[in-house]
Structures are given as C-alpha cells and as structure tokens.
Chains A and B, each alone.
Chain A
Amino acid sequence: MQLQYFLFLAAALFCIGIYGLVTSRNAVRVLMSIELLLNAVNINLMAFSSYLDPQDVRGQVFTIFVITIAAAEAAVGLAIVLSIYRNRDTVDMEQFNLLKW
C-alpha cells in the first residue's frame, strides 16, 4: 500500500465533487457535492497523517475539525435552502438570481 493510491482516490473524489458542484441544478445536490469535496480533503489529511506523521497524528485531529465544520455547514446550508424554497418556491439553482444585477 502506498500513499499515492490514497492521494489519487482523493483527487478523483474531489474532481467528481467539483463536477457536481458546477453542473447540478438542485440546490440540495449542490450541498451533497460540497460534502464530497470535504471528504476528499479528509482522505488526504488521513493519508498524510498515516504515512508522513505516524507518531503524533495531527492529520486525524484536523480531520475531526473538518468533520465538525462540515456538520455545521450542512445544517446552515440546508436551513438556507429551506428558507429560499419558502420564498421562491423552487430549488432550481438557475432561478436563484437575487444577487444578479
């Protein structure tokens, strides 16, 4: 087992996440893509912690912080989606043009 395998896997997951972030039109799916991105970063951190810093595992500490932030982000993001849905009656990303001039 090598470090590079894990890094490749994380890079692939990150690219899938970016593709979903840009192309999906449902706002909830955009939030799921953000979760994919955060998980790709977590895999990177864990692989570095296991292969480059196995004695005091700082990568795992950072992974726990990222998981915490991701949970908070999911809660606030879904609340925002719910509030937009109540105001605009749609979850289509193309119709969220409130800030367009």
Chain B
Amino acid sequence: MNLAEGVQIVSFGLLGLMMIGAALGVVLFPSIVHSAFLLAGVFISISGLYILLNASFVAAAQILIYVGAVNVLILFAIMLVNKREDFRPLPNAWVRKGLTAFICLGLLALLGTMILSTPWAISSVAGVGDQAIIVIGEHFFTDYLLPFELASVLLLMALIGAIVLARREYLPPAITTQYEQQQPVFTLPERPRDAALPGTVRSAQSGSEAPITPLRSDR
C-alpha cells in the first residue's frame, strides 16, 4: 500500500464515520433544529466522498444545492412551523420502533450480502478525472437532451406549485382590521376567501384601489 492509497482509505473512513454519525443524529435527535444542522454535516461529508471518487463538479454542485438551498429551505420551514408541542405518546411506540429497526437491519444485511456476492465488472480504463465536466456537458446536450429540458420544465412547475401551495389564501378578520388602522404600505393584492372580510368590503367601496390584504400575517 503506497501513501496515496493510505490517505484515501483514512479520509474515506473519516468521511464515512462523519456521515453515518450525522445521519444517525438527524434521525434520532429530539430537537429538530439540531437535526437540520446535522443534515448539513451529512451533505458536506457526501460531497467529500464525491471528491474521493474524482467528481469535483458534482461535489461542488452537492454543496451548492444541498447545503446552500435545500438545507436553508428546511431551516426556514422549521422556523415557520416552529410550534413547541409535545407529541402525544403512542401506546405501542417501542413495538413500532423495534420492528422498524429490525427490518432496516435485515435490509442492510441483505444489501451487504448482495454487494459481496455480486461479481462487479470493474473497469480498468483510466478515468476522465477533471475532464468530467466536459463529458457531462456533452451528455447533457446530446444523448440526455430530453431529460435535461424536462428537468427545467419540472423545476418551473415545482416553483409555481410551491408558491401556490404555500401562499396564504385569506386572513382572519381580526388581523385585517388591525392592519387597516395604520395606513398600509403597498402590498400585493391577494384573492379574498369570502366577501365578508372587512378589508375587501371597504376597498370595493372605494373603487379605484385594489383590494389590499397584507401578505405577512404570522398571527
């Protein structure tokens, strides 16, 4: 074993330990905020594993998209639904957890035997290394052009769908009246749910103004 191989194995072990430990923390920690931060640790460790596999572009994309976008999105969602509630304990929770742990360990054993018993056709050709980004670009614009364009359409659909799902449809009347007393800053009009809301009635009478309903409304 030469030096490079030793360094590879040591860093693989460190990254693997970090990844498995952080993933267990994500699943098992009682506080959801700690889980969210540990999820970033999982993503960063996986990015290190990609660098070990000679894929620097995908490693950078992993950090940018997962740590930068998905994890921040999850943190925002935790902030928005942050209700300190203690879940009502279930009667047979330990049966469920034990059964799930048993099934997961069984699945791990099954996958392990499959990995060991399969004769993998390891290729002996030298890899492309840092030229991988050129090869990926060629793939995107030749033989994977249709999935590439479909992915863009899907991202657009997800964008619109997330906005439609997450925007607030109506406001309770108390908030609306309280908001009316101060002269409202310019906000985007929202569709009112029923015409009985005081904000929409008044603005309908005044005629020229658009129905002003504030967007932010956290109780």
Contacts and interface: CB of A to CB of B under 8 A. Distances in A.
Interface of A: 1, 3-9, 11-20, 22-29, 31-33, 35-36, 39, 42-43, 46-47, 49-58, 60-61, 63-65, 67-76, 78-83, 85-86, 89-92, 94
Given A1-B9, A11-B108, A57-B55, 5 more contacts: A15-B108, A19-B27, A57-B127, A61-B139, A69-B154
B109 to A, nearest CB: 9
Nearest to B20: A12
Q: Decide if the interface of chain B is mainly helix, strand, loop or mixed.
A: helix
Interface residues of B, number: 84
B158 A56 contact: no
B58 A20 contact: no
B135 interface: yes
Q: Decide if the interface of chain A is mainly helix, strand, loop or mixed.
A: helix
Contacts, number: 229
B216 interface: no
B132 A1 contact: no
Given A50-B54, A86-B168, A18 B104 contact: yes
Contacts of B147: 65
Interface of B: 5, 8-9, 12, 16, 19-20, 23-24, 26-27, 32, 35-36, 39, 42-43, 46, 49-50, 52-55, 57-58, 61-62, 65-66, 69-70, 73-74, 76-78, 80-81, 83, 85, 87-88, 90, 96-97, 100-101, 103-105, 107-108, 111-112, 115-116, 120-123, 125-128, 132, 135-136, 139-140, 144, 147, 151, 154-155, 157-159, 161-163, 165-166, 168
A9 B16 contact: yes
Given A7-B115, A67-B65, A23 B100 contact: yes
A84 B95 CA distance: 28
**Shortest 4 CB-CB contacts between residues of A and residues of B:** A54-B127, A72-B158, A20-B27, A79-B165
